[in-house]
Amino acid sequence: MDWLSEVKEQDGEIFSLMKNELDRQRSSIELIPSENFTSSAVMQAMGSVLTNKYSEGYPGKRYYGGNEFIDEIEKLAISRAKSLFKVEYVNVQPYSGSPANMEVYLSLCSAGDVVMGQSLTSGGHLTHGWSSSATGKLFKSIQYGVKIDGYINLEEVRELAEKNKPKLIWVGSTAYVRKLPFKEFAEIADSVGAYLAADISHISGLVIAGVHDSPVNYVDIVTTTTHKTLRGPRGAMIMITKKGISKDPELPSKIDKSVFPGMQGGPHDHITAAIAIALKQASTPEFVSYAKQVVANAKALASSLMEQGIKLVTKGTDNHMVLADLSDISPGFGVFAQEALDKAGITLNKNTVPGERSSPFYPSGIRMGTPAVTSRGMKESEMKEIAIYIAQVLSSIKENKLPESKEERLAHIKQFREHLNENDEIKKIRQSVNELTSKFPLYSNMEL
């Protein structure tokens, strides 16, 4: 199928860039844990006639005419989400994860209210109250962290909650490799009368498949993006549990009003349809097998990295993610690692680690995940191979140290990037990566 024939005909520049990106995805090992490869069906829905419609409001209560089929699509997405996550209420209209989380705040809190979330440098998300986010500026944000071993410091969470009496507590993260302790957070939230929201954007596919504990019996609200381990489009959902409705029967209405008209206008109907398709796919035995393999691959990658002498936060993983602490090589080494691995065709991201000795801008760790490589069909043996490549790349650049001054850092990193082009070891690994990815075709039905 010629997917981009019209684009090629009408805008050769964009076509060329899109083709380059497809080639990059096909020839690279994608280890960013928040990225995945959607099915062709999901992509077709996103490029469909549904993008032409405007649908402010909710099914049966629209502000525009001609929504009889859009209503059915949205109701189908809601029904599937309710069934898969076993929740009482779902709103599928949030544009993405950050607006969804802000809509939760607006439903429950007033400006200046006390909220709690995991700090960004400890693996939390910006929208859980980090200082540079609007959520940290509009509300009085109390941030909890992790212990030096990388596990959430529940004693600190309890003490901070008792002292500050937050209106809302978040449990969820973007760089936490162990199972989230929903039950323990519920006990803390209940003891201080706080709402408890679980942001499971990273693990929602794992939750559906039963390879990660579900928060539904413990929290009031659940938010999730619909890509990552769910393998859907870039959208989001807000869900309310039975516990949440028991606490506040008006919560569904509050969320609906917060989404529209509080934060958004018309929903993206093409995304709603793609979400519905992804949810149907997630209800199959094949998806359960996929999610189990994601975790098996992450565990294999973790153990193989440790065999190569790479230090991992918590010495392993329970989910789809692995966090390597490279501070023993040198503080801030994550910057060099990300650049060099990218040059070798292994895509991941630099990340802070517990006890970070550098900064969020120049962190000492790297974050890896297995959703995308698992979607391509890779298994444990390939994870061992990838771990060897990562270790070889790190060894080839280990002499690099981050200068003290900002000006020196920028100049050194620029020079480092230039030298990567001359690194024969990295060129050799890049060739090995090309050979590996060629065995696992990506979107072979796309002819460009």
Write down the catalytic residue from 35, 56, 187, 213. Answer: 56
54 has catalytic annotation: yes
Residues 6+ apart with CB under 8 A from 404: none
Residue 81 CA to residue 280 CA, distance in Å, equals 9
Q: Which domains does the chain have, with CATH numbers?
A: 45-282 (3.40.640.10), 295-438 (3.90.1150.10)
The SS3 of residue 117 is: strand
256 belongs to the catalytic site: no
234 is catalytic: yes
- Condensed to tens digits (0 to 9), the pLDDT of residues 200-222 reads 999 999 999 999 999 999 999 99
Residues 82-118: pLDDT tens digits?
999 999 999 999 999 999 999 999 999 999 999 999 9
SS3 89: strand
Catalytic residue among 135, 225, 226, 374: 225
Residue 199 falls in the annotated catalytic set: yes
Radius of gyration of the chain (CA): 22
Say if residue 61 is exposed, middle or buried (CB neighbours under 10 Å; 0-12, 13-18, 19+): exposed
Asked about 35 being catalytic, the answer comes back as: no
pLDDT bin (cut points 50, 70, 90) of residue 77 is very high
The mean pLDDT value for 118-142 works out to 94
pLDDT at 224: 98
- Which entry of 147, 234, 247, 280 is annotated as an active-site residue? 234
d(CA 336, CA 435): 24
Determine contact, residues 171/197, Cβ cutoff 8 Å: yes
With cut-offs at 50, 70 and 90, classify the pLDDT of residue 448: low
* Alpha carbon distance 209, 268 (integer Å): 27
Q: What is the overall mean pLDDT for the chain?
A: 96
**Model pTM greater than 0.85?**
yes
Q: Which of 80, 228, 343, 367 is catalytic?
A: 228
Helices (H) and strands (E) in the chain, counts: 18, 14
The structure tokens 């120049």 sit at 362
List % helix, strand, coil for the chain (3-state, nearest 5). 50, 15, 35
Q: What is the pLDDT of residues 374-409, one digit of tens each?
A: 999 999 999 999 999 999 999 999 999 999 888 899
225 carries an active-site annotation: yes
User: Which of 74, 103, 199, 220 does the annotation list as catalytic?
Assistant: 199
Structure-model confidence comparison of residues 446 and 226, the more confident one: 226
